[in-house]
């Protein structure tokens, strides 16, 4: 029934709207004029910031600069990683929203990776491991591809171009001197994941109810958008976290394949955020939450700070590409704090799981409609 129903909707939209995106035309346009793609140029330029971080760590390792000077250089480098692409997107009119989201996502990942790269090397120096002490991989790693190949790199022998670029492309945000490695590339597994990788709803009609403040029609459009929006989110989740990251890990023989846990069984909002995106969760725990706890900050304050940081990056990845600042994503993320308290306090078991799913299915379409409405009003309202 689901297949037949969705096949009917697919044919109906194909007949009504046709093919809205032609990938062949997009590729041919890029080949004819690659310089008209500033987002791609931004991604290429990101290489400079990675090399700057590596060069700084090399100088710190040999003692040619002090820790304070190194910290200042790293701070400036990390701040530039966030500010530079945002300024380019806001000032260059030819940057499209899709290209801007792609470029800013790459820079955000680079920021998190280099932040971890700086911390781990700093910890090595602080612990006196500059000569012969090996750093073990993080405990509890999944052996998804047979036995992991033991490897041993000592600080500062890890400060090489090969090590840096392996980390930049590896499907992790947390740096290690010795990553878990798989002994071989499984071709059959790789082909299955590649096949899975090759596997927009129209919302212009939703603008009139928003303009007229027709609440019944707004709710109707919201409910109409909720299911396809969530289906797209689930497809993206599977494509990215299961297929794409596993392809990348297999090609790089990266041993840690724990990219997500059973978030669909979440009985609390907190459990969902801890398990749906493991690379980000590990980074927040290792480089943000635990350092704050060690400094005497309360758990509640540290958790709130993590949500604040997450809310900032969500808004950064939406408002800057759209070139408008409405804080819907920021407020949506901060709303998770009272929601987590309410669900944890009053709901248990299946009721808590239902509350998590409802917040996912309804919450995202609300944010989508808010941004689309504001973007539509700013860019198309009143235009001929």
What confidence tier does 380 reach under pLDDT thresholds 50, 70, 90? low
- Residue 52's pLDDT is what? 95
Using alpha carbons, select from 40, 52, 42, 45 the residue that is nearest to residue 88. Answer: 42
**pLDDT tops 50 at residue 10:** yes
C-alpha–C-alpha distance, residues 37 and 63, integer Å: 41
- Residue 3's pLDDT is what? 56
- Residue 135's pLDDT is what? 44
Q: Mapping DSSP to helix (H, G, I), strand (E, B) and coil, where does residue 323 land?
A: coil
What confidence tier does 134 reach under pLDDT thresholds 50, 70, 90? very low
pLDDT tens digit sequence for 256-268: 888 999 999 999 9
Question: Residues 286-293: contacts with CB within 8 Å, 24+ apart?
Answer: 286/116, 286/119, 286/174, 287/115, 287/116, 287/119, 287/174
What confidence tier does 138 reach under pLDDT thresholds 50, 70, 90? very low
Sequence-distant (≥ 6) Cβ neighbours of residue 73 within 8 angstroms? 52, 56, 65
- Residue 144's pLDDT is what? 45
What confidence tier does 255 reach under pLDDT thresholds 50, 70, 90? confident
C-alpha–C-alpha distance, residues 56 and 64, integer Å: 10
- Residue 161's pLDDT is what? 93
pLDDT tens digit sequence for 268-321: 999 999 999 999 999 999 999 999 999 999 998 998 999 999 999 999 998 898
pLDDT tens digit sequence for 20-50: 555 555 555 544 555 557 788 888 899 999 9
**pLDDT tops 60 at residue 66:** yes
> 258 near 278, Cβ under 8 Å?
yes
- Residue 199's pLDDT is what? 47
314 is catalytic: yes
- Residue 198's pLDDT is what? 57
The angle that helices 299-322 and 349-379 make with each other, rounded to 10 degrees, is 30
Sequence-distant (≥ 6) Cβ neighbours of residue 230 within 8 angstroms? 360, 361, 364, 365
Quickly count: other Cβ atoms within 10 Å of residue 129's Cβ.
Answer: 17
Average pLDDT over residues 142-170: 75
Residue 136: φ, ψ to 5°? -80, 155
What confidence tier does 194 reach under pLDDT thresholds 50, 70, 90? low
pLDDT tens digit sequence for 317-364: 988 988 888 888 888 888 888 998 999 888 888 899 999 998 888 887
Using alpha carbons, select from 206, 230, 200, 201 the residue that is nearest to residue 376. Answer: 206
**pLDDT tops 50 at residue 203:** no
Task: Determine the length of the chain.
Answer: 384
What confidence tier does 120 reach under pLDDT thresholds 50, 70, 90? very high
More confident residue, 105 or 132: 105
DSSP letters along 60-90, please? Answer: HHHTSS-HHHHHHHHHHHHHHHHHHHHHHHH
- Residue 133's pLDDT is what? 43
First to last CA, the chain: 43
- Residue 151's pLDDT is what? 54
- Residue 121's pLDDT is what? 93
pTM of the entire predicted model? 0.79
Sequence-distant (≥ 6) Cβ neighbours of residue 352 within 8 angstroms? 266, 267, 268, 343, 344
Using alpha carbons, select from 127, 175, 177 the residue that is nearest to residue 154. Answer: 177
- Residue 214's pLDDT is what? 56
Catalytic member of 74, 281, 287, 314: 314
What confidence tier does 5 reach under pLDDT thresholds 50, 70, 90? low
- Residue 294's pLDDT is what? 92
Around 129, how many Cα atoms within 13 Å sit in the side-chain half-sphere? Answer: 18
- Residue 79's pLDDT is what? 96
């Amino acid at each position: 029934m689901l297949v037949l129903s969705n096949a009917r909707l697919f044919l109906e939209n194909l007949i009504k709207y046709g093919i809205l995106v032609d990938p062949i035309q997009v590729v041919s346009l890029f080949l004819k004029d690659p310089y008209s793609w500033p987002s791609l140029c931004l991604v290429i330029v990101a290489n400079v910031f990675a090399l700057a971080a590596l060069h700084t760590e090399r100088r710190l390792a040999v003692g040619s600069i002090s820790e304070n000077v190194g910290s200042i250089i790293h701070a400036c480098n990390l701040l530039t990683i966030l500010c530079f692409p945002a300024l380019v997107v806001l000032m260059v009119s030819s940057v499209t929203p899709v290209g801007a989201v792609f470029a800013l996502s790459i820079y955000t990942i680079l920021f998190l990776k280099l932040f971890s790269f700086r911390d781990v090397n700093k910890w090595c120096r602080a612990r006196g491991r500059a000569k012969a002490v090996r750093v073990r991989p993080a405990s509890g790693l999944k052996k998804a591809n047979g036995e992991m190949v033991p490897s041993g790199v000592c600080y500062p022998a890890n400060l090489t171009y090969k090590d840096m670029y392996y980390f930049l492309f590896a499907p992790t945000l947390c740096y290690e001197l010795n990553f878990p490695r798989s002994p071989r590339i499984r071709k059959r597994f790789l082909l299955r994941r590649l096949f899975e990788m090759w596997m927009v709803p129209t919302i212009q009609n939703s603008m009139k109810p928003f303009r007229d403040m027709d609440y019944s029609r707004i709710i109707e459009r919201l409910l109409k958008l909720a299911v396809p929006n969530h289906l797209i989110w689930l497809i993206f989740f599977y494509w990215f976290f299961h297929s794409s990251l596993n392809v990348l890990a297999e090609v790089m023989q990266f041993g840690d394949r724990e990219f997500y846990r059973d978030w669909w069984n979440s009985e609390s909002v907190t459990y969902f955020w801890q398990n749906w995106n493991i690379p980000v969760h590990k980074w927040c725990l290792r480089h943000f939450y635990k350092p704050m706890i060690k400094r005497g900050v309360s758990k509640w304050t540290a958790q709130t700070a993590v949500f604040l940081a997450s809310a900032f990056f969500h808004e950064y990845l939406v408002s800057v590409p759209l070139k408008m600042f409405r804080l819907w994503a920021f407020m949506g993320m901060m709303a998770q704090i009272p929601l987590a308290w309410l669900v944890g306090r009053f709901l248990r078991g299946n009721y808590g799981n239902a509350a998590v799913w409802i917040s996912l299915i309804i919450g995202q379409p609300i944010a989508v409609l808010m941004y689309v409405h504001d973007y539509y009003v700013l860019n198309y309202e009143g235009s001929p």
